[in-house]
Amino acid sequence: MTTDRSVTVNGDPVPLPDDPRVSLLDLLREYAGLPGTKKGCDQGACGACTVLVDGRTGGDRERILSCLTLAVQYEGRSVTTVEGLADGDLHPLQEAFIDHDGFQCGYCTPGQLCSAVGMAAEARRGVPSHVTADVTRSEVELTTAEIRERMSGNLCRCGAHHGIVAAIATTYAGAGR
Amino acid sequence: MSTPTTGPDVLGAPVPRRDGRVKVTGTARFAAEVPMPGLLYAAFVHSTVAKGRITGLDVAAAENSPGVALVMTHRNAPPMAAPPAFALHPMGASGDNLPVMRDDRVRWNGQAVAVVLADTQERADRAAELVTPSYAAEPAVTTWSAAKARGTARASNYGMPLTTVSGDADAALSAAAVSVDHTYTTPRESQNAMEPHAATVVWDGDTLVVHDCTQLVSQVAVSLAEVFGLRPDQVRVSAPFVGGGFGGKGLWSYLILAAAAARMTRRPVRAALSREGVYRLVGGRTLTEQRVAIGARADGRFDAIIHTGLMAMTEHNAVPEAVTSATGALYAAGSFRLEVDRALMDTVANFYMRAPGEAPGSFALESAIDELAHELGIDPVELRLRNEPETEPVTGRPFSSRHAVEAYRAGAERFGWSARSAVPRARREGEWWVGAGTAAATYPYVRFPGGAARLVLQPGGRVGVEAAAHEMGMGTATVLAQITAERFAVPLTAVSVSYGDSTLPGVIMAAGSQQTASLAAAVAAAHRELVGGLLAAGAAAGTGSPLAGCTADTVATRDGGLCRLDDPDAWEPYDALLARAGLTELRAEQAAPPPAEMGAWSIHSYGAVFAEVRVNDVTGEVRVPRIVGSFDCGRILNARTAAGQFRGGIIMGLGMALMEETQVDGRTGRIMNPSLSEYHLPVHADVGDIDVIWTGIPDPRTPLGAHGIGEIGIVGVAAAVANGVYNAVGVRVRDLPITLDKLL
């Protein structure tokens, strides 16, 4: 059922299954024993499956929707999930989510966390959004409006939006200025 | 027992969630994530006609597809009784009472006609595509106009006809100095919890073990036992983490089919619905059409309120959208006529969604109040305050604790309501028209019978509390720990909580905003039992204890022990009391007393919603940058999780106001937008500033003085937004959602 090829997930090799239809999301949840990454729609509309992958330029990790990604596309590459987000005990953003009540049911939370880490890196790199006033700047300040705009691909039905935005703003305050 | 003295900050404090760590690290295990060896994955084949018979069901290609272990259809499914339906059976959990896969009948477009089990999800999904059903379609009622033409009848809620008449409202309306009389509509909506419905099911001999995502563990266990002819103790339903419910997570056919398929294959089965599958197999809020007519005197006092509703149901369910339920509680009026009728359609059975009845009902009522305020030339806040009742309208029952006026005034002050122009189309900023709208909210206090809890006093002053309650994000586990810590006068860290399992005590639905009241009453009862038992087993009879001769009635809790009520210095810690009793731990389980408070008093949560609304002059786009919700919901037990409940309800109300609609193709009865890309929810960019405040005044008649807070947040929001739209641009939208085409 598996091959000798693999994807590196949170530092550990995960063998690729021999079925090329397996999405990166299902590789994590059903094959790697890492169900922290969530399946909310399986069609790229909710963001619950967001994970971080190594950047092609070797720089920041980038956020992607693992449900719209075939596992085989990431052969030999590196993926970080919510289970691997923290260096030590908790990532500062995870602590901030607890402090700011950035979740209720917890189902969208792993996607919000991974998405926010990738989003903050995008702002540091100066990637503009729909609400960025000055697209010529090399870095983008993460105002509330920027965070709301850039996190809109991550749905939350419980309505924890304020806690999520506050947690992100606190964690990345001053970043990208 | 007197008030314990753990400290003033255990109840009401903004205590962080107990499940925070497991949720931010991805280690909380949801229903589709329970590991099982030899697991089979389910895929469903859905009917493509609304009504008729299955005439052909070729499963050979699917059966021969790689990895397939079973293709189950009505031809080979095991015998199953029809599930007991919610509100038709005391322990019914099912959305409908239709037999599941027992015959060749199709009753709605999307019904499961085959289930494929395979060793991977990919193989199950592929094989399901190979099943080729054919149908003899029959005429079906799939449009609202056809449903109404077929005939309507009075709807019932738990067997009670939805009719309330007081005085002659029609005559009073005709004679009124000023009146409004309009029709409002609300569409079908879907709960859309972020976690799609899922279950991991395994048979252990004749015992069925279900890891489900339900908000009704006890009812699901009993209902499944009925379906499979088992004793209730042969079914265990576990749901410690539920990824949102909002009413949608009762018992639906996917779980029955998963259990049947697991029995046939003698292997564990995971049935994780696709997002589309949720729309096909699980019912949402139904559509409504409502008339609200209000007759008033020139000073604004109401002589007549007529609120009638018509909504779509099916022949197979008993869950109405009781749109008038808030109307009889909010305002004084000389006469009332409140009626709800239903028409039948051939669709998936409609079910509950946050504040069923109150949410769509308040859109109509509170829009009409705003329309009347304009007719009268009276400020909409003032008009509401002028019609504040002294006792519950219609019934005359006394209010237990009603501070709706205080909440309204506080909300208006916080919002800055006095700055609003009474005249529409008065304020423009660039290409945006700016307005403000308000609406009142109410939701009844409910405490269902059946609450119970088990308490375990352990060495070191540790306490365990166990109850069949649910944590879907409301903060139940955290508040249950706070309630228990306060009762025992022990630190929060000394309390462990078990919940979300049908083998635990009590029947404690996560429905009706009632879990906290149910748990508070149950913990109080069990605590009294435990303290009485602890004293009787040792200290009371002994000579050395400062509590000698005491009973549960003559002691209080203090600092990790018990003391005499009349002498707090006469105190002994729990460890010493356990030692006197010769025990290492002591358990007590007790049911909550019957909810007598509900009959004796009119008990409701109240709220006032204020919305700043901006309408784009060019595109008609509506933005809501600011909302204030001001609530009167008794004592707030956790300021942090309560604020989350209020805000979450308000945001769902924002979706209801502006974007949410489940669209049914009238030609086929098929839901056309079964996805999160075509059914729109509020996203981060749609959610502006939301300020929530509350009176916090305890209700002397309810457990711990609390009222429900889970549902009232959504109530009134759609009307506040619609009223704000009118104030901004002078266009009255009476049909939700308020999409831009209605403003151009």
- Above 70 in pLDDT, residue B6? no
Runs of H (alpha helix) within B99-143 = 121-129
pLDDT at B214: 97
Query: Confidence band (pLDDT; 50, 70, 90) for A56?
Result: low
Phi, psi for B444 (deg, rounded to 5): -70, 145
Please report where in the chains the tokens 């305020």 appear, as a residue.
B373
Query: Are residues A51 and A113 in contact, defined by beta-carbon separation less than 8 angstroms?
Result: no
Which residues in chain B touch residue A152, judged by CB atoms under 8 angstroms apart? Answer: 683-686
Domain check: are B494 and B563 in the same one?
yes
Residue B655 sits in which domain range?
288-446+599-743
DSSP assignment string, B594-611: P-HHHHHSB-EEEEEEEE
Question: Residue B574 domain-assigned?
Answer: yes
Q: How many domains does chain B have?
A: 3
Residues B636 and B696 in one domain: yes
Mutate to test the interface with A, among B194, B627, B654, B660 (most CBs of A within 10 A): B194
Taking 90 as the threshold, does the pLDDT of residue B538 lie above it?
A: no
Distance CA B434, CA B616 (A): 9
Q: Is B306 exposed, middle or buried (0-12, 13-18, 19+ CB in 10 A)?
A: buried
Residue B574 tokens, joined: 């729990």
In chain B, positions 460-479, which contact chain A (CB-CB < 8 Å)?
472-475
Q: Is the same domain home to B260 and B397?
A: no
Mean pLDDT of B386-410: 97
Best to test chain A binding among B24, B652, B712 (most A CBs inside 10 Å)? B24
Please give the Cα distance from A100 to A163 (Å, whole number).
5
Same domain assignment for residues B428 and B459: no
Contact B306, B179 (CB under 8 A): no
Q: How confident is the model over A62-73, as a mean pLDDT?
A: 97
The answer to the question of residue B175 being in a domain is no
- Contact (CB, 8 A) for B4 and B630: no
pLDDT tens for B142-182 read 999 999 999 999 999 988 999 999 999 999 999 999 999 99
Which residues are registered as beta bridge partners of B202?
B209
| Residues of chain A neighbouring B472 (CB-CB closer than 8 A) | 104-105
pLDDT at residue A3, as a whole number:
82
- Identify the structural domains of chain A with CATH numbers, from first to last: 2-84 (3.10.20.30), 92-171 (1.10.150.120)
DSSP sequence for B291-356: EEEEEE-TTS-EEEEEEEEEEEE-TT------TTTTHHHH---S-EEEEEEEEE-SSSPP---SST
In A, minimum Cα distance to B40 occurs at A30
B10 within domain boundaries: no
Binding-face residues of B in 13-52 toward A, CB within 8 A: 16-17, 19-30, 32-33, 35
Residues from chain B that touch A30, judged by Cβ atoms under 8 A, are 120-121
Q: Identify the pLDDT of residue B4.
A: 45
Q: Do A36 and B643 touch (CB under 8 A)?
A: no
How crowded is residue A125: how many other Cβ atoms within 10 Å of its Cβ? Answer: 15
Residue of chain B with shortest Cα separation from A105: B473
Q: In whole angstroms, what is the distance from residue B122 CA to residue B105 CA?
A: 29
Contacts of A103 in chain B (CB under 8 A): 17, 20, 23-24, 473
- Structure tokens belonging to residue B618: 């060019």
Write the CA distances from B216 to A80, B471, B504, B507, integer angstroms.
35, 11, 13, 8
Task: Give the residue numbers of B marked as catalytic.
Answer: 711
Same domain, B213 and B323: no
pLDDT number for residue B3: 42
What is the C-alpha to C-alpha distance for residues A134 and A111, in angstroms, rounded to an integer?
28
Q: A90 at the B interface (CB within 8 A)? A: yes
pLDDT of B543 above 90: no
| Domain closes at, from B564, B594, B624 | B594
Residue B354 within a domain: yes
Both B238 and B310 in a single domain?
Answer: no
Chain A touched by B625 (CB under 8 Å):
no
Is B184 inside a domain boundary? Answer: no
Per-residue CA distances from B633 to A77, A101, B246, B361, B474 (Å): 53, 21, 19, 20, 15
pLDDT for residue A57: 60
Residue with tokens 């050395």: B544
pLDDT of B2 higher than 90: no
Give A158's contacts in chain B (Cβ within 8 Å): 194, 244, 473, 644, 648
User: Is B259 a residue whose pLDDT tops 70?
Assistant: yes
Do B510 and B429 share a structural domain? Answer: no
Q: Which residues of A touch B641 (CB under 8 A)?
A: 101
Q: Mind listing the pLDDT tens digit for each residue in B687-702? A: 999 999 999 999 999 9
Is residue B78 domain-shared with residue B221, that is, in the same domain? Answer: yes
- B241: closest CA of chain A, how far (Å): 8
Q: Select from B15, B17, B23, B249 the residue whose CB has the most chain A CBs within 10 Å, as the one to mutate to test that interface.
A: B23
- Chain B residue with Cα closest to A163: B644
Q: Where are the alpha helices (DSSP H) in A29-159?
A: 92-99, 109-124, 144-150
Same domain, B536 and B651: no
Alpha-carbon A155 to chain mean position: 13
In this structure, are B581 and B608 located in the same domain?
Answer: no
Touching A: B residues 275-334, CB under 8 Å: 275
Sign of the dihedral through C-alpha B637, B641, B644, B650: negative
In-domain check, residue B213: yes
The whole-number pLDDT of residue B554 equals: 96
**Boundary of a domain, candidates B594, B623, B647:** B594
Q: How does pLDDT run across B264-318, given as a tens digit for each residue?
A: 999 999 999 999 999 999 999 999 999 999 999 999 999 999 999 999 999 999 9
Residue B542 domain-assigned?
yes
CATH code (residue B507): 3.30.365.10
In a domain? residue B144: no
Asked if B580 and B607 sit in the same domain, the reply is no
Give how far B35 is from chain A: nearest CA, Å.
8
In angstroms, the CA B718 to CA B363 distance is: 6
Looking at the structure, do residues B294 and B437 belong to the same domain, yes or no? yes
Specify the pLDDT at position A87: 85
Interatomic CA distance for residues A35 and B30, integer angstroms = 9
* pLDDT single digits (tens) B66-118: 999 999 999 999 999 999 999 999 999 999 999 999 999 999 999 999 999 99
From B594, B609, B639, give the residue that closes a domain: B594
Mean per-residue pLDDT for B238-248? Answer: 98
Percent of chain A with pLDDT strictly greater than 70: 95
